[in-house]
Homo-oligomer: A and B are copies of this chain.
Amino acid sequence: MSAQSSLAGSPVVAEVDFAAKGRQAGHLRVPQSRDDSGWGTIPVPIVVVANGSGPTMLLTAGNHGDEYEGQVALLDLARTLKPEQVQGRVIIIPAMHYPACAAGKRLSPLDGRDFNRCFPGDPFGGFALSLAHYIDSVLLPLCDYQQDLHSGGTGMDIVASTAGHVLDDAGLQAKTLAMADAFNAPVTMLLREVNAGPTLLAQAEARGVVALSSELGGGGRLNPANLAITRRGVANLLRHAGILDGKPEITTPSRRMTVPDLAHYVFAPCDGIWEAADILGSSVEAGAPAGLLHRIEDPTGPAIPLSYAATGLLWCVRHAGRVKVGDPVAVIARDL
């Protein structure tokens, strides 16, 4: 028998009413069968604040569980946002891929899945696919805006950036750039849309939602400077959309950049310990040394020197000291 799944159009059930006004806190209840609990569920916390009339914005973090700036900024917002401040609707999911967030891991401790490769999902494909299906088919259709808050995770550190796609739809593109300008991260990263993979961002775009992803730091830690950027960026987005009063607070305008091809990556050719030549955010030149890869298996052989193959901003660096063959140790961005 499948008692729960018979109760709704998707096996996921929300404890909040998206059509109601005011402030609600509850869960998305996602089935997760265990050997000792056949009808077990995993409740994913969700907060909805709605008032008056205005657009709907979906704010998500914890797509990857080891990316913390977004989770904390949204927990703060969820604790403090009052209906009377709002015109429209804000849907907040601070720890979306909940099992990964609870473990502090990028990938699911249940099945190793990368949640951001699970869209548009499958209602009965397991926790991650089932939740992705719900977000895509139930939540995105409610939305005008969507911001998914990422950082670089355990392995990478990244210059705080929002990230969007180069879109065929000029109108949607303009709205996306305006949204990124309002967020006002130091960098706005624009990547080609072709074959973006089954991400939440790609799915939001496919549904015509004005949407951004982001990379707001990393290194597996909560960086205070990046947390401040994230908190301000989220408030800016709500102001930009007219959901909160006021104008976005803009410091230096965001720098629009891209990573055009694989030549802007430096990959580790073998396992080793990475000693970088430059710090995150440096300006680097093609041909210059990127760093040394030290090999513990051969203490008398030389460390392996790697060089940049492109000129630009050292936008992303390997954080973790130990790297495996094929890991990127540096990514260069250039201005658009």
Query: Which A residues contact B (CB, under 8 angstroms)?
Result: 1-11, 13, 25, 29, 32-43, 45, 47, 62, 64-66, 68, 71-72, 74-75, 78-79, 92, 94-95, 98, 101-107, 111-112, 114, 116-117, 123-124, 150, 152-156, 163, 165, 189, 191-199, 201, 213-215, 219-222, 224, 227, 259-262, 265, 267, 270-271, 273-276, 294-303, 316, 319-328, 331
Contact = CB atoms under 8 A, between A and B. Distances in A.
Q: Which 8 A-B pairs have the closest CB atoms?
A: A104-B322, A95-B296, A68-B321, A78-B299, A41-B326, A5-B197, A6-B191, A37-B155
Contacts of A322: 36, 65-66, 68, 101, 103-104
B29 A197 contact: no
A175 to B, nearest CB: 19
Contact of A37 (B5, B6, B324): B324
Contacts of A163: 1
A206 to B, nearest CB: 14
18 contacts: A1-B150, A4-B262, A9-B194, A29-B326, A32-B326, A36-B322, A37-B156, A38-B64, A39-B156, A43-B325, A75-B273, A75-B294, A94-B296, A95-B299, A117-B124, A154-B320, A219-B319, A220-B320
A138 B32 CA distance: 30
Contact of A155 (B40, B79, B327): B40
B195 A9 contact: yes
A202 B249 CA distance: 55
B124 A198 contact: yes
Contact of A38 (B4, B104, B123, B155): B155
A320 B104 contact: yes
Given A7-B262, A35-B107, 13 more contacts: A6-B196, A36-B155, A40-B155, A40-B327, A41-B328, A43-B326, A68-B322, A79-B302, A94-B299, A95-B299, A102-B271, A124-B198, A219-B221
